[in-house]
A and B are shown apart, each in its own frame.
Chain A
Amino acid sequence: MIHFNDYEKKLVIPRWLDYTKAARSHEFAFPREKPFVVNAITQRRLVDDFADFKSSPLPHKAADLMGAAFVVGEMSMARDLAKYVKGNIALQKPALALADSILGEAHRKLAPTDVSKRIAIDKMFLNEFPQNPFAWVERARCYTILGQFGKAEKCIRIAINLAPADRYVIRSAVRFFLHIDKVEEAWHYIKRSLETQFDPWLKATEVNVAEVMKKSVRKLKWLLSANTSPANIYQFSELIESFGMLELMNGNDHRAKKHFKLAWSNPSPNVVTHSEWIVREHFPSMIEIAEGNFGESLEANAWQHYSNLQIDQACVYAMEWALEEPYAKNAFGLASFIAFQRGKYESGITISKSGLKASPNEFGLQNNLCFGLLKLNNLPQAEIELAKMPRAETPADQVILSATKGLMEFKRGNISLGRSLYYEAIGKAKETGDLRLIVNAALNLAIVELETNSVEDEAEIEAVLKISEKMKTPDVVLTRQLLEQAYTEKKKAPLAFKEFRNPKILPPKF
């Protein structure tokens, strides 16, 4: 049975993007309250120098003045000069590159997609500039993608020492420590970064780490100062969203909605992602307020398409999300789930393996890998992978583990044992009271019975189809479609059904 945890309690945890990409978002902006005014001396000299250039134009004069105008934000003058400078062979590369950049014609150098190559480049850079905190963070990110957490941790600690209060460094560090389950470390560094400053982004991170640790946080009486400009709301959106989530968990739906509405009026990408989850799991009626922003988040797009059963688009977005955040286990979880639902087992296996690099002890991904291998009847490899399964910590994980073990027994030809393991899974699912889990286990059992030609009573298939009929969650709908498909095919060849025998183990009643 495929592991799928889209309905876990979702917090507003920072993303961890490479610095160039992160800087492009306004997540690291500190908006000015008053506009910048170029002082009189500068203005006068700009005019003087531009006039001087016009009366006797020279490439080096143009290059100097272009850079100067660019620095003070006199972009019209900078563009005029950049046109003159552009492509002038008398000038050096940095001046030409600046001209291209001013004219919006610069090509951003893309980092190699191969993580090992990125590490090699980063190592060379850090050899030269060991004081650069962002390069250490990027190196840590690359090591994390490869699952080399020891090395990643060393890099992240160096970065923190170099920039102990920097928004990018600390949020990345928190994301890292949460990823490797060192929640106390995450808490320590986020608290320390807030000792000397108030920063809404770091404060939002603190609120969410506290929630992970089940610590209570003092509610801020003010979330927004008097300034409710869109730019300021953007800066505070994660914090507002986080407090909205706290209200929701405390059962204050009305207040929660109020916070969400405010945060979604100009949300950060992280808030967009969260808003999609809020709409899907709690307040579907708020979709109209939220959906306009979904384009800002690959994750939100993936989930939204998935919940609308637009599976192909969901898969594309999930894969892009996985590329952007290669340590995000849910990205790989969703992508592998979709691949399996489409019968693309090879792809699902590859995706699960990629996700396991950064999350080697991730129960769900390891389970999905076993599931895919079993579906391809690769029993020897499936057994190896099943042996690596981490402990099933939650009741839901225990349900899934029993079901996957059941699938293995079916594939081994131990039908009775397989069936009893599935019944065990259904029984455990019933204990959780989660109807979705129960139905998913039953659907999976029915599918494997059909696949292994071991159906003993067609009525049971019908019963599962009936009970799942009214459930609209995408995982149930999609698994049910698989069952319907398999059942229809079987019915076309009715002789394929074995003669009814009394089952040795009685199925649990729904």
Chain B
Amino acid sequence: MSTRPLASRLEGKQIGPWKVIKRKEKAIDDSSGYFSSCYFVENGDGQKAFLKAFNYHYAFGGKSGSADVLKFMTQNFTYERDLLSLCNGSKMRRVVTAIDSGEYSEAGEIISVPYLVFEIADGDLKSHMAISDLAWKLKSFHDALLGVSQLHKVKIAHQDIKPSNILVFGKNVSKISDLGLATQLGNASNWETSEHVGDARYAPVELLYKHFSPNWETRRFGADLFMMGGLLTYMIADTHFLSMMYQKLEDHQRHNSFGGTFSQALPFLLNAYHLSLADLKPLIPEKIRDELTQIIAELSHPDPDKRGNPPRLLNKHRQFSLDRYISLTDRLSKAVK
């Protein structure tokens, strides 16, 4: 039996209707085991797709608590599969859903490989940045907003919105992908501990500063809005809003050095937020400058209680509702065409 986990050596194998063509390239050998490995696959009809194989072997690579890790991973797979199934059933057209799922095993292998199969995209947002104009980017952002809004309507918070999770299909359709860190109100994922930060690189600033609102919507939908603000900033400035803010902070003010409370951090975070908006504004074409800056300002506010729709509009829109942003970006993308 090979020492490499089965999930890392699926090339050439037949998994259900899917022939595994090629492993998604990685420059490093991940045989030590990550949570998952990815492959390009094709079925008998010539339909190409993308397979994500969960690496349960990872659970046995750790020093302790293998059973707990295995349980954790199994639950993750089931949870993600069920969420994707819910999205599919709800016809969420701007969310990348699974077209197949199952569990693959081989004789002589103790550990089986659960997998999810997704439609294949023509790249992610990052690969389209250089060749796209602002109108296209705003349309892509609008699509991503639609996707997140569709998730929010069934009380799912995505929690991992970033450029590589915006997949582009054809010339003009973008979808939000990867529900690996998503969580649903009333149906908590493994990640839904109150202090879960997820991928800290794109996390909302309040979670990095250890402020976890007791209100689920503020904590989770608020996080999604912040990440959407970061995404829009990336489309304009080629860098995330959080990194722009962090550049305005001194080392001792960044979360990895800061030991105070969030309320002690808020004044300097607010200052960094304002300075970032001031830097961002001149990059936006004048005819949509004020409105687009306002959208970023509302989505990226460092105080989750002040994020989202402004108080004057709360009689028409809920604080974290994305509907208003969807119609605004739709209009703005057409205005800059």
The answer to whether A67 touches B35 (Cβ under 8 A) is no
Of A89-97, A400-408, A417-425, the segment with at least 4 beta carbons within 8 Å of chain B is A89-97
Q: Which of A36, A68, A92, A125 contacts B202 (CB 8 A)?
A: A68
Q: Which of A68, A73, A128 contacts B256 (CB 8 A)?
A: A73
Q: What are 29 of the A-B contact pairs (CB < 8 Å)?
A: A23-B268, A28-B268, A29-B252, A31-B259, A32-B256, A36-B257, A42-B199, A48-B34, A58-B126, A58-B130, A60-B127, A64-B239, A64-B240, A68-B243, A71-B242, A72-B200, A72-B201, A73-B254, A93-B237, A94-B238, A94-B279, A95-B237, A98-B244, A129-B278, A132-B274, A134-B271, A135-B271, A163-B266, A165-B263
The answer to whether A59 touches B130 (Cβ under 8 A) is yes
Determine if A49 is an interface residue (Cβ-Cβ < 8 Å): yes
Binary interface profile of A, 353-371, with partner B (CB < 8 Å = 1, else 0)?
0000000000000000000
Determine if A41 is an interface residue (Cβ-Cβ < 8 Å): yes
Contact partners of A162 in chain B: CB under 8 A = 267
A42-B200, A101-B247 known; 20 new pairs, CB 8 Å cut-off, are A28-B268, A31-B257, A39-B197, A42-B199, A64-B126, A64-B238, A66-B239, A66-B243, A69-B201, A71-B200, A97-B279, A131-B274, A132-B270, A132-B271, A135-B271, A163-B266, A165-B263, A165-B264, A166-B264, A197-B261
Can you name the residue of chain B whose Cβ is closest to the Cβ of A162?
A: B267
Q: Categorize the interface residue count of chain A.
A: 35 or more
Within 8 A of B (CB), among A284-300: none
Within 8 A of A (CB), among B254-298: 254-261, 263-268, 270-271, 274, 277-280, 283
Determine if A52 is an interface residue (Cβ-Cβ < 8 Å): yes
Contact partners of B25 in chain A: CB under 8 A = 52, 55-56
Complex CA gap A197/B266 in Å reads 15
Determine if A70 is an interface residue (Cβ-Cβ < 8 Å): yes
Determine if A63 is an interface residue (Cβ-Cβ < 8 Å): yes
- Number of A-B residue pairs, CB cutoff 8 Å, is 172
Give A22 Cβ to nearest chain B Cβ, in Å: 10
The answer to whether B259 touches A60 (Cβ under 8 A) is no
Determine if A221 is an interface residue (Cβ-Cβ < 8 Å): no
Q: Which of A60, A66, A131 contacts B126 (CB 8 A)?
A: A60
The answer to whether A32 touches B258 (Cβ under 8 A) is yes
Complex CA gap A132/B297 in Å reads 13
The chain A residues found within 8 Å of chain B, CB to CB, are 19, 23-24, 26, 28-33, 36, 38-39, 41-42, 44-49, 51-52, 54-56, 58-61, 63-64, 66-73, 90-95, 97-98, 101, 125, 128-129, 131-135, 162-163, 165-169, 197
Determine if B234 is an interface residue (Cβ-Cβ < 8 Å): yes
Known contacts A42-B199, A94-B279, A60 near B252 by CB under 8 Å: no
The answer to whether A46 touches B250 (Cβ under 8 A) is no
Contact partners of A24 in chain B: CB under 8 A = 250
Can you name the residue of chain B whose Cβ is closest to the Cβ of A134?
A: B271
Complex CA gap A101/B130 in Å reads 23
The answer to whether A36 touches B255 (Cβ under 8 A) is yes
Q: Categorize the interface residue count of chain B.
A: 35 or more
Chain A CB within 10 Å, residue with most, of B198, B258, B271, B279: B271
The answer to whether A36 touches B256 (Cβ under 8 A) is yes
Within 8 A of A (CB), among B207-266: 234, 236-240, 242-244, 246-247, 250, 252-261, 263-266
Can you name the residue of chain B whose Cβ is closest to the Cβ of A43?
A: B200
Q: Which of B27, B164, B242, B277 contacts A67 (CB 8 A)?
A: B242
Complex CA gap A24/B244 in Å reads 18
Determine if B15 is an interface residue (Cβ-Cβ < 8 Å): no
Give B69 Cβ to nearest chain A Cβ, in Å: 11
Known contacts A71-B201, A98-B243, A30 near B270 by CB under 8 Å: no
The answer to whether A128 touches B280 (Cβ under 8 A) is no
Contact partners of A125 in chain B: CB under 8 A = 274, 278
Can you name the residue of chain A whose Cβ is closest to the Cβ of B230?
A: A67
Complex CA gap A49/B164 in Å reads 9
Within 8 A of A (CB), among B80-95: none
Complex CA gap A73/B274 in Å reads 22
Contact partners of B252 in chain A: CB under 8 A = 26, 28-31
The answer to whether A94 touches B267 (Cβ under 8 A) is no
